[in-house]
Structure 1
Amino acid sequence: MLHETAHHSEHPRIFLAGDSSVCTREISRAPMAGWGQVLPLFFTRDVEIVNCARAGASSRTFAERGRLDWILDRLRPGDYLVVSFGLSDHKQDEEVRTEPFHGYRAYLRLFIDGARDRGAHPVLVSPHERCTWDEHGNLRQVVQPYPMAMSELAAETSTPFVDLYEQSLQWWTQLGPQGTRSLFMFLAPGQHPNYPDGIDDTTHLLPEGAVACARYIAHTLAQREIVPAQWVTRLDQERFPDEAYGWLDDATHASLTRARTKGEGDTL
């Protein structure tokens, strides 16, 4: 029950640190959406959600390139820092990759310790699985070592843990290969003006997928009393208008991307 010592300001604050599965997207990339982009749909208006997630960032690059420092400089006692990485960490690109039970855990500790040093509450959220299937129609668990490492670290450090990964496995398996595609960025040529040639994207979500993830996270935070239950709202609302999804105009998105770092320029 973390909220007993929460900072009771006029606007409670939840900072989000994560990768492309979490970040707010620019309007030129719609209908692509991160779950952090739509998380405010499930919180009352007096809760300020500061989405600092960055597309392409791993736990390593987010910390090394000044984005974590930007958050830590602004955290107040009683704030929350919700941390979700893994989809970029598992890439083979040496510039972003971390090993799940070594570097990944070490960098996540920086987020946990940094928040607690400032009297804020860290929360870990595992990444969702990708939409990848084998030739027999079985879901491939390509990200699995990272949620496992995160779960172990959460237990070791007594950090609240929201297991979005396990939930996504249940959802994707129940929906099957074709059903799951309806939640991800699979668009036919001409289906959306931002993607005239179509797109087959096994990683990034459509609003329906992002909303499902955000709803589950908000529900879990309230149900387990990680945040005060009265902060969470509209969990039973099935649909939202397109204008509620929170895409940013490209100039505003670029400005925030540059501003929310203590690193060099437009970094990951």
Structure 2
Amino acid sequence: MNTVFLLGDSTCAPKEDDTRPETGWGMYFENYINSSWSVRNLAMNGRSTKSFLEEGVFDQCLAELEAGDFVFIQFGHNDSKEDKERYIEPWSTFQGNLACMAESVHSKSATPVFLTPIARRKFFSDGTLLQTHGEYPHAMLSLCQARGYACIDMNKTTFSLLEQMGREGSKELFLHLKAGEHPNYPEGISDDTHLNEKGARVVCSLIIALLKEKYRDFPFLA
């Protein structure tokens, strides 16, 4: 049985019971793929390409990787964080880390697939949606275009979705809870980065739809 590996940050990662209803889109990925394939979600909260590589998580993926597998790589949420564990410049080290991952995956006769980071729900007071990921999505797209890597622009897709839903409507996709609404968040929470169950399902379904539109010959697609 071949495997689709998911690498990335908290927006994709599996969640423990004590953080639910926060949900990573990767938790629903297996619902949309061919039953002859398995999913291995190695995404982790708070990681950038730098920390993901330095902590050895990518090496874990390579150790398990077999010919014919696919590796989804979604980063850009945390690479701009101003700490020495995660920060890297978008047009040099970020692109270099992505290329390193892709070539390592290719060396195992597997296929890398890149995804730009999903948009945050950050609106200006006038209702305009703020782009929070800087140059990182553009750097990923540029690298993929230059080297012919498969890439899905989820930043553009989710940004458009949030704009359409608006400031209030888009809350239903993120971790927004009132005080007393859920035992894990007794005081409530307003989180504009992390998805709830509905948001994760919506994002995952968008990813699958774009894959079928752009890469319909991928063998894991149901």
TM-score of Structure 1 vs Structure 2, range by shorter chain:
over 0.9
2:47 is matched with 57
2:151 is matched with 161
2:189 is matched with 199
Superposition pairs of residues 178-197 of structure 1, within 5 angstroms: 178-197=168-187
Distance in 1 of aligned mates of 2:217 and 2:133: 27
Cα drift, residue 226 of structure 1 = 5.5
Question: Which structure 1 segments of 5+ residues have no match?
Answer: 1-10, 234-268
2:98 corresponds to 1:108: yes
Distance in 1 of aligned mates of 2:179 and 2:58: 38
Q: In structure 2, the residue corresponding to 1:136 is in which secondary structure? A: coil
- Choose 218-227 or 102-111, whichever is displaced more: 218-227
Letter in 2 for 1:220: L
2:73 corresponds to 1:87: no
Percent identity among equivalent residues?
30
1:78 is matched with 68
2:119 is matched with 129
Match of 1:67 among 57, 65, 80: 57
The verdict on how the C-alpha distance between 1:227 and 1:93 changes in structure 2, with shifts beyond 3 A counting, is: farther
Cα drift, residue 224 of structure 1 = 2.2
Match of 1:210 among 200, 206, 212: 200
Cα drift, residue 191 of structure 1 = 0.8
Cα drift, residue 48 of structure 1 = 0.3
Match of 2:164 among 163, 174, 180: 174
| Aligned length, in residue pairs | 222
Q: In structure 2, the residue corresponding to 1:73 is in which secondary structure? A: helix
2:15 corresponds to 1:25: yes
Whether the 8 Å contact between 1:219 and 1:232 is mirrored in structure 2 is no
Distance in 1 of aligned mates of 2:13 and 2:111: 20
Q: In structure 2, the residue corresponding to 1:165 is in which secondary structure? A: helix
1:42-70 deviation per Cα after TM superposition (whole angstroms, max 9, x unaligned): 11332101000010110111011101111
Distance in 1 of aligned mates of 2:204 and 2:197: 10
Whether the 8 Å contact between 2:6 and 2:40 is mirrored in structure 1 is yes
Match of 2:221 among 232, 243, 246: 232
Distance in 1 of aligned mates of 2:25 and 2:217: 18
Letter in 2 for 1:163: D
Cα drift, residue 220 of structure 1 = 1.9
| Larger relative contact order (CA 8 Å, sep ≥ 6) | 1
RMSD: 1.3
Distance in 1 of aligned mates of 2:134 and 2:209: 23
Whether the 8 Å contact between 1:60 and 1:107 is mirrored in structure 2 is yes
Whether the 8 Å contact between 2:2 and 2:66 is mirrored in structure 1 is no
Whether the 8 Å contact between 2:90 and 2:136 is mirrored in structure 1 is yes
TM-score, structure 2 length as denominator? 0.96
Letter in 2 for 1:187: L
Cα drift, residue 30 of structure 1 = 0.7
Match of 1:223 among 202, 205, 213: 213
Question: Which structure 2 segments of 5+ residues have no match?
Answer: none
1:259 is matched with none
Cα drift, residue 159 of structure 1 = 0.3
TM-score, structure 1 length as denominator? 0.80
Q: Runs ≥4 in structure 1, deviation > 6 angstroms?
A: none
Q: In structure 2, the residue corresponding to 1:25 is in which secondary structure? A: coil
Distance in 2 of aligned mates of 1:199 and 1:41: 28
